[in-house]
Amino acid sequence: MADKKIKIHVENLKKNFGKLEVLKDISIDIFEGEVVVLIGPSGSGKSTFLRCLNQLEVATDGKIIVDGKDITDKHTDINKVRENIGMVFQHFNLFPHKTVLENIMLAPVELKIMTKPEAKEKGMQLLRRVGLDSKADAYPAQLSGGQKQRIAIARSLAMNPDIMLFDEPTSALDPEMVGEVLAVMKELVADGMTMVVVTHEIGFAKEVADRVVFMDGGYIVEQGPPQEIFVNPKEPRTIDFLNKVL
């Protein structure tokens, strides 16, 4: 990865909620086209870390540089930066008052990146890609969990982001729907998308991750290629965690 461009540079990131220190000292570089999977016990700070990467959680201290822009700097237009960072949530967060197609079209049209007809065409193209073009006029309440999450991914992709953040995208799904969402994510990997994924799907991590990052207690404890972390973990805490989940 040394020859690749650094996409996200995180330096001594700290995040407190009141007196609770959730992220104590995180530094990491994420490269263009890299797929980084964050694992760790609940409360380890992995979701908080992910949410700091688009400043949904405002960092308490430290630096986060995305594409050369310091997003922890108050003078940076965070909305502009977010246009390039898609995010997929555990609970989908589709807009229930809008149809599937309207969900996808909203941001590109409102931010004047596309005209309505362009956004519609892009939306239908994305819906075909996630296999849900027949649901364009449905409301989110009429869809299954797996379908909602595929729509949520399509909605993020409508902005043509070059980074995608996934916050436990399959955790709220019935087991038989996990596969369809992971399949869409694997396609993104194949397209060379830079991805940061918080997940409990160890199988997914083994298969597609370039790097697995194990977090615990607000620190990055260990990181490396999946075969190294899953087969030969070095830190006792990593070994302990993997014994519980594998």
Partner 1 sequence: MIIEKYGSMLMQALGKTLLLTLLSLFFAMIIGLIFSLMNVGKNRFFNFIGTAYVDGVRGVPLIVLAYFIYFGVPAGVKMMGVQDFRLSALQAGTIALAMNCGAYMAEIIRAGIESVDKGQMEASRSLGLSYAKSMRLVVLPQAIRTMVPSIINQFIITLKDTSILSVIGFPELTNLGKTISGNTFKSLETWAIIGIMYMIVIVTLSKVAKRIERRINFGR
Residue 85 interacts with partner 1 (CB under 8 A)?
Answer: yes
Alpha-carbon 27 to chain mean position: 18
Residue 65 CB partners (closer than 8 Å, separation 6+): 8, 9, 10, 11, 71
Among residues 16, 60, 76, 93, the one that binds partner 1 under rule CB under 8 A = 93
CB of 77 to partner 1, least distance (A): 10
Among residues 5, 80, 128, 234, the one that binds partner 1 under rule CB under 8 A = 80
C-alpha–C-alpha distance, residues 42 and 44, integer Å: 5
Q: What six digits make up the tokens of 132?
A: 């849900």
Half-sphere exposure at residue 85, Cβ-oriented, CA atoms within 13 angstroms: 24
Residue 19 interacts with partner 1 (CB under 8 A)?
Answer: no
Tell me whether residue 155 or residue 211 sits nearer to partner 1 (CB atom): 155
Residue 127 interacts with partner 1 (CB under 8 A)?
Answer: no
Distance from the first to the final alpha carbon of the chain: 28
CB of 95 to partner 1, least distance (A): 6
CB of 83 to partner 1, least distance (A): 4
CB of 206 to partner 1, least distance (A): 28
Among residues 6, 107, 136, 242, the one that binds partner 1 under rule CB under 8 A = 107
Among residues 20, 68, 75, 79, the one that binds partner 1 under rule CB under 8 A = 79
User: Which stretches does DSSP call E strand in the chain?
Assistant: 6-17, 20-31, 35-39, 61-66, 69-70, 85-88, 163-167, 194-198, 211-216, 219-224
Site residues for partner 1, 167-196, by CB under 8 A, read: none
Q: What six digits make up the tokens of 121?
A: 């065409």
Q: What six digits make up the tokens of 95?
A: 């807009």
CB of 94 to partner 1, least distance (A): 8
Which residues sit at the interface with partner 1, rule CB under 8 A? 54, 56, 79-80, 82-83, 85-87, 89, 91, 93-97, 106-107, 110-111, 138-142, 152, 155-156, 159
